[in-house]
Amino acid sequence: MPETPEYDGIVIHFGELWLKGRNRHDFISTLMRNITLAMPEKYNSKLVKLRDRLIIGVHSNEDVGICMDMLSNIFGISWFAPFRKSGTDMDSIISVANSFFNAGENVKIEPHRSDKTGQMTSKDIVSNFIKRQAELKFVPEKLGEKKLYIDVLGDFCIVHSKKRKGLGGLPVGTSGRAVVLLSGGIDSPIAAYYALKRGLEPIYVHFYAYGSIDELYGTKMPKILDSLLKYHPRAKVYAVPVHLFQISVMKEQQKYEVVLFKKFIYETAQIISEMENAKVIVTGESLGQVSSQTAENLAATSQGIRCLIFRPLLGFDKQEIITKSKELGMYDISIMPYKDACSLRSRNPVTRISPAALESIYSRAGLERIPMQSIEKAYIGFWNGKSIERSLG
């Protein structure tokens, strides 16, 4: 076995390379902010931009493990790899390369010249490896299974062999802010994941039916927030009680409860989006999945909502959502028992309500004032892993 190589750092390459001009600048500076936010503090000064890549300096193999795990959850990264630095001369490159492989391994040499001022071309580098085979532990082979990447950058090279694929997408924040309606179910955390993936910065809004915030903290909701926090560690949360809604709809027929609840949460989300300067509301709805998600009911409940409503799961089958939920390690949390915000027990919920009919029942139930009154009773602040650090509300 080779000795575990001591790496000098991790090199990070971003995706969406067609971004130009100002967009590109925002992309990179937001990505740097997000990496810094996610990294333990001691690495903060170690992140630098080097042309079209980012570099994190490390001092130990333990650092490498910690940083690699953290980077695998950050949107906007196409790949990353631990590297060693070498000089631009063949002696130096060969000595680093030898530390990466086992004796006799077949290795494809992949040189890349980011800086073309040096004398050796990429072809020269490959043919030098072949000429100096006797000095190599490994076998340079065109069809080699393993890869040796040599990135020539002016007066030094970045040498690496273990590329890891990143999550892709856009850095969280580059698409602005979104109010993400997060229930206790399977779908909305996955919708949140896809919203974050396209660069939306989340403000999580949850409507709860428990008697107190401490009771809510004892449920699966903190676990759901934690599982999303790894994709963006700074999340503002609104925990909005639903008792005012429940009292208001008590006199209405049960078949309307679901659509009334939906309209109530959209209206509340709209007020929050104005308070938070968000342009978008994100939900976990998927067309036709349940009665409230028919095209007619989606149209009626979203009538009058000025924000864009994004439904990232619109075209997903339930099974596809479940598969993704399992892949992200969220499924076991999402299926834990939970007290639903509205009874949702109506045997025959209305499947096709007109906007006018819904509007009229909504106002008959006195629901127009309820969103603002509920926000006044909400717990609002940043999620710190245990509780909402209340800032106002």
Residue 81 interacting entry, from ligand ATP, Mg ion, none, C-beta within 5 to 8 Å by type: none
Residue 21 gets the label, from left (phi > 0), alpha (psi -120 to 50) or beta, of left
Interface residue with ligand ATP, options 175, 183, 270, 297 (CB under 6 A): 183
- Closest contact distance (angstroms) between CB of 182 and ligand ATP is 5
Residue 168 interacting entry, from Mg ion, ligand ATP, none, C-beta within 5 to 8 Å by type: none
- Closest contact distance (angstroms) between CB of 388 and ligand ATP is 15
First to last CA, the chain: 59
- Closest contact distance (angstroms) between CB of 181 and ligand ATP is 3
CA distances to 128, 138, 140, 150, 297 from 94, in Å: 10, 10, 11, 10, 66
The 279-308 site mask, x for binding ligand ATP (CB under 6 A), equals: ----xxx---xx-xx---------------
31 binds ligand ATP (CB under 6 A): no
185 binds Mg ion (CB under 5 A): yes
Alpha carbon of residue 16 to chain centroid: 16
Question: In the complex with Mg ion, which residue's Cβ is closer, 30 or 183?
Answer: 183
Question: In the complex with Mg ion, which residue's Cβ is closer, 317 or 376?
Answer: 317
34 binds Mg ion (CB under 5 A): no
Contact indicator for 391, 381 with CB cutoff of 8 Å: yes
CA distances to 173, 196, 197, 360, 363 from 200, in Å: 5, 5, 7, 34, 33
Interface residue with ligand ATP, options 185, 304, 355, 393 (CB under 6 A): 185
- ∠ CA 356-362-185, nearest 5°, is 105
322 binds Mg ion (CB under 5 A): no
Contact indicator for 83, 54 with CB cutoff of 8 Å: no
CA distance 229 to 193: 10
183 binds Mg ion (CB under 5 A): yes
Segment contacting ligand ATP by CB under 6 A, of 82-90, 117-125, 205-213, 302-310: 205-213
- Closest contact distance (angstroms) between CB of 207 and ligand ATP is 4
Look at the chain and count its residues: 393
- Closest contact distance (angstroms) between CB of 220 and ligand ATP is 12
Strands 177-181 and 164-168 come out as unpaired
Contact indicator for 90, 154 with CB cutoff of 8 Å: no
Strands 9-14 and 77-86 come out as antiparallel
Residue 290 interacting entry, from Mg ion, ligand ATP, none, C-beta within 5 to 8 Å by type: ligand ATP
Q: Count of residues binding ligand ATP (CB under 6 A)?
A: 19
CA distance 39 to 48: 13
Residue 32 interacting entry, from Mg ion, ligand ATP, none, C-beta within 5 to 8 Å by type: none
268 binds ligand ATP (CB under 6 A): no
Q: Count other C-beta atoms under 10 Å from residue 21's C-beta.
A: 7
Segment contacting ligand ATP by CB under 6 A, of 92-100, 142-150, 199-207, 229-237: 199-207
- Closest contact distance (angstroms) between CB of 254 and ligand ATP is 15
- Closest contact distance (angstroms) between CB of 313 and ligand ATP is 8
Torsion of CA 320, 323, 324, 328, to 10 degrees: 170
Question: In the complex with ligand ATP, which residue's Cβ is closer, 201 or 285?
Answer: 285
206 binds ligand ATP (CB under 6 A): yes
Contact indicator for 167, 264 with CB cutoff of 8 Å: no
CA distance 123 to 365: 76
270 binds ligand ATP (CB under 6 A): no
257 binds ligand ATP (CB under 6 A): no
Facing residues of 152 across strands?
113, 157
**CA nearest neighbour of 198 among 310, 319, 71, 327:** 310
311 binds ligand ATP (CB under 6 A): no
* Contacts with ligand ATP, residue ranges (CB under 6 A): 181-183, 185-188, 205-207, 265, 283-285, 289-290, 292-293, 341
* Contacts with Mg ion, residue ranges (CB under 5 A): 183, 185
